[in-house]
Structure 1
């Protein structure tokens, strides 16, 4: 038993999360300082995500706007994702039998979602290095100005090999995320998926209802 525990404690959360997500999350949950540097990580990952997600409708990069979004929007997005995401996962998970607290879900959020998402960020950064400023231009603008074949329209101009790597990383990231949430709640990855579906419904349905009300109002007048 002691040898098994020592082996678990030697897991590298940055590397082993991809192959042993439940073991890594359990290891991190059992640490006394488990949330050390979480806010810093959320800010950094939020900024990197903002860089790779930035898009504009014209050529000629707007560095001022991009800097504003990355330096302000990125940290805000990262912190909201960390705290709101973990809180709603904890609440909804407990509705269907989970036992995780918000603090437990923050561990799964950082270790099982935000840190692994750096893989897709890295692929996007490679795409940026290859395509330069064109990376930030919307597909619609590229089609209108330069014309693109069907493959380029589907991939958004990203090299096909990077698209394939992104798809693989995204799928495995989803698996890791579900297993991590499941470990924090003490239930299966399928129950974690159900948690996500319920959360999506909670967040989307009110906007759908609001949209229908607004549409009905304009039709009536």
Structure 2
């Protein structure tokens, strides 16, 4: 895993350089991959990755909320695909804008479009996670979205699936740091700070609302 400190100088944004395959190079050269994606934009890929991220997020929510208790199994799956995809697109645009403006406060040099591209590329691990979502559905069927008793195999599979999905989620967060840093052409520590600031603001606002309500 790359260190958060970037020992090398940023790529020259005026030179396109080599076109990389993000599915392969994102795992060992994240910043170079994001710069390549910015220089050689593939709008269809970006939209696909945002949709996959939204589907993965809504899939986890459907499981935790036991949506299958109140809805038909196929309706739940349809909601995951449609609603999750829409949420993914909207979240992509919103968080790209937030990271763009917060990064500007930290003297970032990137544009909103560059941030949007880099953020989408950081969703690749979420797209990979969809494979585990599919296998969860295949092995558990209706039980997945209810409180039904599971077989030993199903319990074991869920634990294994959750482990790999967690690892991919952690890697995606790491890639988001790199995405912000590469888009704004500053250090990864500033990239991390850019992600932390809006999260901290939201936490303080929610805490304040809760305290006022109490």
TM-score computed with the length of structure 1 as normaliser: 0.74
Structure 2 CA distance for aligned equivalents of residues 162 and 44 of structure 1:
17
Structure 2 CA distance for aligned equivalents of residues 128 and 147 of structure 1:
13
**Residue 127 of structure 2 corresponds to which residue in structure 1?**
118
**Residue 218 of structure 1 corresponds to which residue in structure 2?**
none
Structure 1 residues 119 and 41 mapped into 2: Cα distance closer, same or farther (>3 Å)? closer
Trace 1:1-221 onto structure 2 (pairs within 5 A): 9-31=18-40, 34=41, 36-37=43-44, 38-39=46-47, 41-43=49-51, 45-47=53-55, 49-51=57-59, 53-55=61-63, 56=66, 59=69, 62-63=72-73, 65-66=75-76, 69-70=79-80, 72-112=82-122, 114-137=123-146, 141-142=147-148, 146=149, 158-215=157-214
Aligned residues: 197
Where structure 1 has 5 or more consecutive residues not aligned to the other structure, the ranges are: 216-221
Higher mean C-alpha deviation, range 116-125 or range 192-201: 116-125
Structure 1 residues 70 and 14 mapped into 2: Cα distance closer, same or farther (>3 Å)? same
Which entry has the higher C-alpha Rg, 1 or 2? Answer: 1
Structure 1 residues 80 and 134 mapped into 2: Cα distance closer, same or farther (>3 Å)? same
Is the 2:177–2:192 Cα contact (8 Å) retained in structure 1? yes
Is the 1:49–1:121 Cα contact (8 Å) retained in structure 2? no
Structure 2 CA distance for aligned equivalents of residues 10 and 27 of structure 1:
6
Root-mean-square deviation (Å): 3.2
1:99 deviation in Å?
A: 1.7
